[in-house]
Structure 1
């Protein structure tokens, strides 16, 4: 996702209507309630009303990561992931200090992911890529140190993401957030045991590559997400996204893969719980 605060965004004002609820609940594995805006409790309740009963709130800088960790402590339906977004790393005057702060947050019990981290060669040019890669390697180490899932942002950097993971040694659990590759890249990620998280982009008319990737992704390596407020699924592309729209993406994945909707929902739920752990306070 781009780094942009709600006050800076140009999101359309009218939210889409709620879709038909899912019979089997699933989590939104990646959202940004702080950027969606409004009261988080209202967004959580709107999602719950259509069968999205658990959320992972994801940080992209120190401010949003602290916010995510605090929200997860306050809301039983929310877990957190914390990190410096790859486009944030080159902007920081003291990257090492920021990474130490991320490491401190990663030790909190309801922080279950380290991300979104990774590489973005679309928004960051050659001059910033060394800092991106150094930050990515540090996040890999943090995820391994705490036994947390590594949540990867990968934009136009597939081969380099795999290279860095190979060189550092991947954590036990790796998630390709908002999977953006083709069938061949998906096959490579599946072979390595990584989890592919599909966003509303899989519903886009011009995203045949994502649907082909979804078709070869085993159910136990598939999750679903919004990346809200971005990437709103068809037929509401361009309008503000939120967790309550996940049923549109799940139904598209079921149609694409030929899987029974309820069985796919159950599998996505189980995979997400395996990746992030249970949402109950005792988990």
Structure 2
């Protein structure tokens, strides 16, 4: 079998975690064909690994509508809606009105993902910052967590949160900072969500961040279909792979998988206002 075909193969579904957890950030619409049947299959596989609930996240208006709908198909799915910073060059009244409508849904548990992305040049920084400020205000008005995308924009993200006044709950999706950035976020009361990148061997800054964040201020996510954790980096990602990241996080923190799984579940329930349950099954 060629190396390319090896890379095309999904990782095996790992052994079930000792306690059910939540994938705090995934893109179910990009992991399959977007049908209810495909979503159920993704969640069935995730459930076999102990990942029993997910938050599926939007990056544009079509994805936001899809996420809000998908969260009504299966009780294991919740949604977050916003316009991704790379899509904000034409962020106008139509987008604002639709996101406001969608975010009011009972199954929509966060405003996200929003923030700043200075790696890509699809949207000017000024447009990104204006949209970010609007999403911050929306999260405060609606009383739901703000889910942040931060790529090469740490200082501006922190500055704008300070200038606008952060919502009660702020989640840094796929946290990408080092130990110093983590300390600043922790002191501000923000939640750090770790993706498969925290398991990468060359991610020394992330390793430091993972070790110092308090037990009540971290989540685990996949950002599927992207960022598959070690040792399957480059392979297709799905919500069940959150279990691999959780094992890696436990090893970095020097804690048992049981302890980390319990923290991930309880933190996700608190942050997103999910029902408190140790067992969730499909509808």
| Selected match of 1:114 from 111, 115, 137 | 111
The answer as to 2:33 corresponding to 1:34 is no
Q: Output the CA distance in 2 between the equivalents of 1:19 and 1:139.
A: 37
Q: State the Cα deviation string for residues 33-72 of structure 1 (Å, max 9, x = none).
A: 1001141110010000110001001000110011111111
Q: Deviations over 1:145-192 (max 9, x none)?
A: 111010000000000000110111000000000000000000000000
Residue 118 (structure 2) pairs with residue 143 (structure 1)? no
Partner of 2:16: 21
Question: By how many angstroms is 1:279 displaced?
Answer: 4.4
Q: SS of 1:74's equivalent? A: coil
Q: TM-score, normalised on structure 2? A: 0.92
Query: 1:4 maps to what in 2?
Result: none
Supply the distance in 1 between the matched residues of 2:71 and 2:232 (Cα, whole angstroms): 29
CA distance in 2, matches of 1:122, 1:29: 23
Whole-Å Cα distance in 2 between the matches of residues 115 and 245 of structure 1? 21
- Structure 2, unpaired ranges of 5+: 1-5, 277-283
Deviation at 1:12, TM superposition (A): 4.9
Classify the secondary structure of the residue corresponding to 1:122: coil
The match for 1:57 is: 56
Residues 101-129 of structure 1 show CA distances to partners (whole Å, capped at 9, x for unaligned) of 1111111111010000000010027x711
Aligned counterparts of 2:137 and 2:273: Cα–Cα separation in 1: 20
| Equivalent residues in 2 for 1:251-262, closer than 5 Å | 251-262=247-258
Instruction: Count the aligned residue pairs.
Output: 267
Can you give the 5+ residue segments of structure 1 that lack an aligned partner in the other structure?
1-10
Are the counterparts in 2 of residues 106 and 142 from structure 1 also a CA contact under 8 Å?
Answer: no
Displaced runs of 4 or more, over 6 A: none
Q: 1:228 to 1:212 in 2, by over 3 A?
A: same
> 1:79 touches 1:279 (CA, 8 Å); kept in 2?
no
For the aligned residue pairs, the C-alpha RMSD in angstroms reads 1.4
- Aligned position for 1:7: none
Aligned counterparts, 1:99-110, within 5 A: 99-110=96-107
Distance 1:120 1:203, change over 3 A: same
Shift in Å, 1:96: 2.7
Normalised by the length of structure 1, the TM-score is 0.92
Out of 164, 171, 178, which is 1:168 matched to? 164
Contact 1:179–1:199, Cα closer than 8 Å, also in 2: yes
Residue 233 of structure 1 corresponds to which residue in structure 2? 229
Asked whether the 8 Å contact 1:78–1:279 carries over to 2, the reply is no
Compute the displacement of 1:95 (Å).
Answer: 2.0
Deviation at 1:16, TM superposition (A): 1.2
Q: How does 1:117-196 map to 2 (within 5 A)?
A: 117-124=114-121, 128-196=124-192
Quick one: distance in 1 between partners of 2:121 and 2:100? 24
Structure 1 counterpart of 2:201:
205
CA distance in 2, matches of 1:265, 1:51: 9
For 2:85, what is the secondary structure of its paired residue?
coil
Q: Please, which of 94, 106, 114 is the counterpart of residue 97 of structure 1?
A: 94
